[in-house]
């Protein structure tokens, strides 16, 4: 007990900064330096003195990231991206899962863990603007995604209309005539579905194609099983679609599974495109074309916004920024020899 | 500010216990009760008073779960299971990702976040027994998995030898003669790989089959891409295998992708079985046979062990327990009409 970074630095014969980098898991440390520091840490039984650190800096160097579902790969990818960005700035990230419930999201913004963390990044699913207006705690907060607009917090989004339009235009460019959409939701649900549906419709209209409500399947949940269910509805139509735009990759992977069970060929009979570019999509059979938001950039921007507030390097009005995205063409639209 | 659970209970006309259940996200509350409580919480702008709660109970009702990789679905499933178990006991779980690095795992056991949490569940990948022997902090700790044995902490494991044997016996029962294994590691690496290799060998020996070192492919990493690489090695053999036991599902999904690209049929040419039963495996094309550890039970047991220590309902010697597992037969071994 009572061992300081300085003690460790002296023992290891390196700078305090190097010790700090190793302790905080900063990546750009040579293996040799890391080994020397780890040896000294172990020999001295170093234990980080968090309260002292807190008193000195007024910070604990811990951020919370609250995501709806831990088991949705899109959100664990975002988690990884936020951890990468925070680690490079010597912050640790703890992850909380809200199940997309309004009560849990409200607890997160109102300081479920005060004194424990320096700031929160929240990807809300159910929170309403009024919940944020009533917020009293001053722990810095950054929002991710399309659930809430025009609230007084820094916010990282992607242009969902343009991204959905790009996905639909890709299907149109393949000569497909009956292009379905899976993942629409009611007007009261999240904005993400509404914006993606808008992009889909705009692409069809601009291509001079009529849009057919029978080809738009609603789904409140976005898991693989929901994609199977939705695809079954489409396969039961008198004339099934020849292409499907799914509002996330899990829906698309479920849709491809349903097509396989129904002995439809992908993409020959039905081309499929998703949204998110989760890892699984590069390895599925066939591999899945998708829209890839730049998740590392989402993480970088969110952490940068948050640390600006925590470290008081920015105190101006709330900022909103868009992370870029790109179309990834794989076998599910281009065929096996893409 | 200053609103108590009692105030909320009076406003909502329910018991304090009901309010507590809603605030802590306990699932067994009727929707009507939940709605009444949420309304009262919002009207009164309730904010949980954590320090007061801490002073009263000496606890913050927060657990930490440290897993190696957030983006490995097995670990996010375990995370979900731990959250389920903790929520039912009115505890919140924050998740930390260690990247399987010894320095980060050491920080976790030595109280990276003291005063923040009541206890830690750790799934170690790189930690050594000596790291634990030097541990000074008294925050309760429960270990998951096969990395460390004979250390003075409660420990939840599965019987990896028996599970791997069951997987291999399933392939033998299909009449396969050249059964490969993917995921072996060096003797200095984790015990999981060693135990699974042992189960594989025992099954072959008991069936009177010789084991062929050419059919055992090492892999230090267990991601999809590693499965592809390992399967390529097997496909380049003069006589490729007719079955493969992969030490996790991600390796198996990669192996199936490589077989697809090489125009091998699964299971007609090569049967494939994995280990973990991640969600993806029920939806892949073909769906993947696997060993399913009872992940919810792993979470239940770990949380139960930990809360026994935190709430001082058990103070005896360290306990070790095994969670059950089962064989799940799907298309990758039984064929399409399984």
- Lowest mean pLDDT of A126-140, B89-103, B304-318, name the range: A126-140
Contact assessment for residue B92 and residue B62, using Cβ atoms and an 8 Å cutoff: yes
Query: Buried b vs exposed e over B223-251: b needs ≥16 C-beta within 10 Å?
Result: bbbbbbbbbebbbeeeebbbbbbbbbbbb
Of B93, B114, B224, the CB nearest to A279: B224
User: Which tokens sit at A327?
Assistant: 């179309």
Chain B positions in Cβ-Cβ contact with residue A76 (cut-off 8 Å): 70-71, 76
Query: Buried b vs exposed e over B85-111: b needs ≥16 C-beta within 10 Å?
Result: bbbebebbbbbbbbbbbbbbbbbbbbb
Q: What is the pLDDT of residue B87?
A: 92
User: Which of residues 208 through 267 in chain B touch A, CB cutoff 8 A?
Assistant: 224, 228, 253-254, 256-257, 260
Judged by CB atoms closer than 8 Å, whether chains meet at A25 and B115 is answered as no
Q: What is the pLDDT of residue B51?
A: 44
Contact assessment for residue A24 and residue A92, using Cβ atoms and an 8 Å cutoff: yes
Chain B positions in Cβ-Cβ contact with residue A50 (cut-off 8 Å): 111-116
Chain A positions in Cβ-Cβ contact with residue B70 (cut-off 8 Å): 70, 76, 79-80, 83, 95
Tell me the pLDDT tens digit for each residue of A202-225: 999 999 998 899 999 999 999 999
* Mean pLDDT score, B52-69: 73
Query: Which percentage of chain B shows pLDDT scores above 70?
Result: 90
**Closest chain B residue by Cα to residue A285:** B285
Chain A contact probe: residue of B39, B280, B296 with most A CBs at under 10 A: B280
Answer whether residue B23 shows pLDDT above 80: no
Most confident of A242-251, B81-90, B133-142: A242-251
Q: What is the pLDDT of residue B25?
A: 52
Q: What is the pLDDT of residue B1?
A: 40
- The CA distance from B257 to B269, in Å, is 14
Q: How many CB atoms lie within 10 A of CB B337?
A: 5
Contact assessment for residue A70 and residue B79, using Cβ atoms and an 8 Å cutoff: yes
Max Cα-Cα span within chain B: 77
> How deeply is A48 buried, as exposed, middle or buried, from its count of CB atoms within 10 A (0-12, 13-18, 19+)?
middle
Q: What is the pLDDT of residue A138?
A: 80
Q: What is the pLDDT of residue B316?
A: 94
User: Which tokens sit at A318?
Assistant: 């709330």
Q: What is the pLDDT of residue A21?
A: 72
Place of tokens 């709806």: A68
User: Which tokens sit at A96?
Assistant: 């909380």
Q: What is the pLDDT of residue A2?
A: 60
Residue A68 neighbours by CB under 8 Å, 6+ apart:
A75, A97, A98, A99, A100, A123, A124, A125
Distance from CA of A165 to the nearest CA of B (A): 28
Q: What is the pLDDT of residue A107?
A: 85
**Closest chain B residue by Cα to residue A68:** B80
Tell me the pLDDT tens digit for each residue of B175-215: 999 999 999 997 665 689 999 999 999 999 999 998 899 99
Q: May I ask the CATH class of domain B5-48? A: mainly alpha
Judged by CB atoms closer than 8 Å, whether chains meet at B107 and A42 is answered as no
Q: Look at A171 and B94; give whichever has higher pLDDT.
A: A171
Q: What is the pLDDT of residue B190?
A: 64
Tell me the pLDDT tens digit for each residue of B272-295: 999 999 999 999 999 999 999 999
Instruction: Detail the DSSP E strand segments found in A41-175.
Output: 62-67, 92-97, 119-122, 141-144, 154-157
Q: Look at B188 and B97; give whichever has higher pLDDT.
A: B97
User: Phi/psi of residue A180, each to 5°?
Assistant: -90, 165
Tell me the pLDDT tens digit for each residue of B229-246: 999 999 999 999 999 999
User: Which tokens sit at B148?
Assistant: 């460390």
CATH of domain B160-293+327-334: 3.40.50.2300
Judged by CB atoms closer than 8 Å, whether chains meet at A79 and B70 is answered as yes
ipTM: 0.82
- The CA distance from A174 to B30, in Å, is 50
**Measured between CB atoms, does A88 come within 8 Å of chain B?**
no
Instruction: Detail the DSSP E strand segments found in A190-301.
Output: 216-218, 243-246, 271-273, 290-293
Q: What is the pLDDT of residue A166?
A: 98
* Mean pLDDT score, B19-28: 66
Answer whether residue B103 shows pLDDT above 90: no
Q: What is the pLDDT of residue B114?
A: 57
Tell me the β-bridge partners of A142.
Answer: A121, A154
Domain B5-48 and domain B160-293+327-334, same fold? Reply is no
Of B48, B104, B253, the CB nearest to A107: B48
**Closest chain A residue by Cα to residue B70:** A76
Q: What is the pLDDT of residue A120?
A: 94
Q: What is the pLDDT of residue B112?
A: 62
Domain ranges of chain B: 5-48, 160-293+327-334
Query: Buried b vs exposed e over A234-272: b needs ≥16 C-beta within 10 Å?
Result: bbeeeebbbbbbbbbbbbbbbbbbbbbeeebebbeebbb
Instruction: Detail the DSSP E strand segments found in chain A.
Output: 62-67, 92-97, 119-122, 141-144, 154-157, 179-184, 216-218, 243-246, 271-273, 290-293, 320-322, 325-328
Judged by CB atoms closer than 8 Å, whether chains meet at A71 and B70 is answered as no
Q: How many CB atoms lie within 10 A of CB B207?
A: 13
Residue ranges of chain A whose pLDDT lies below 50: 1, 49-56, 338
B176-to-B23, B244, B273 alpha-carbon distances in Å: 55, 10, 12
Contact assessment for residue B77 and residue A71, using Cβ atoms and an 8 Å cutoff: yes
Length of chain B, please?
A: 338
Provide the H-helix boundaries in chain B.
Answer: 5-12, 16-23, 31-44, 50-57, 73-88, 102-109, 129-133, 160-173, 191-206, 224-235, 249-261, 295-310, 331-334
**Closest chain A residue by Cα to residue B331:** A261
């Amino acid at each position: 007990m009572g061992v300081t970074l300085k003690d460790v630095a002296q023992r290891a014969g390196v700078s305090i900064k190097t010790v700090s980098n190793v302790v905080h898991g900063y990546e750009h440390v040579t293996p040799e330096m890391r080994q020397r520091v780890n040896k000294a840490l172990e020999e001295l039984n170093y234990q980080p003195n968090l309260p002292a650190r807190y008193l000195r800096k007024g910070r604990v160097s811990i951020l919370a990231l609250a995501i709806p579902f831990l088991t949705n790969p899109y959100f664990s990818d975002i988690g990884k991206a936020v951890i990468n960005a925070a680690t490079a700035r010597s912050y640790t990230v703890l992850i909380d899962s809200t199940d997309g419930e309004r009560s849990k999201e409200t607890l997160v913004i109102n300081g479920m863990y005060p004194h424990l963390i320096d700031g929160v990044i929240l990807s809300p699913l159910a929170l309403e603007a009024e919940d944020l207006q009533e917020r009293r705690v001053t722990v810095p907060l950054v929002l991710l995604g399309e659930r809430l607009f025009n609230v007084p917090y820094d916010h990282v989004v992607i242009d969902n209309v343009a991204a959905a339009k790009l996905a639909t235009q890709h299907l149109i460019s393949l000569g497909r005539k009956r292009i379905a959409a899976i993942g629409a939701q009611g007007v009261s649900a999240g904005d993400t579905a509404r914006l993606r549906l808008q992009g889909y419709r705009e692409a069809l209209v601009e291509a001079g194609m009529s849009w057919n409500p029978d080809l738009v399947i609603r789904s409140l949940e976005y898991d693989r099983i929901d994609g199977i269910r939705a695809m079954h509805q489409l396969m039961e139509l008198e004339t099934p679609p020849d292409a499907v735009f799914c509002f996330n990759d899990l829906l698309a992977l479920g849709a491809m599974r349903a097509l396989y069970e129904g002995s439809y060929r992908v993409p020959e009979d039905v081309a499929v495109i998703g949204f998110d570019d989760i890892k699984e999509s590069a390895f599925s059979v066939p591999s899945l074309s998708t829209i890839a938001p730049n998740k590392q950039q989402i993480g970088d921007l969110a952490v940068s916004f948050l640390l600006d507030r925590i470290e008081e390097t920015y105190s101006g009005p709330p900022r909103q920024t868009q992370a870029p995205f790109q179309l990834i063409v794989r076998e599910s639209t281009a065929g096996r020899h893409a």
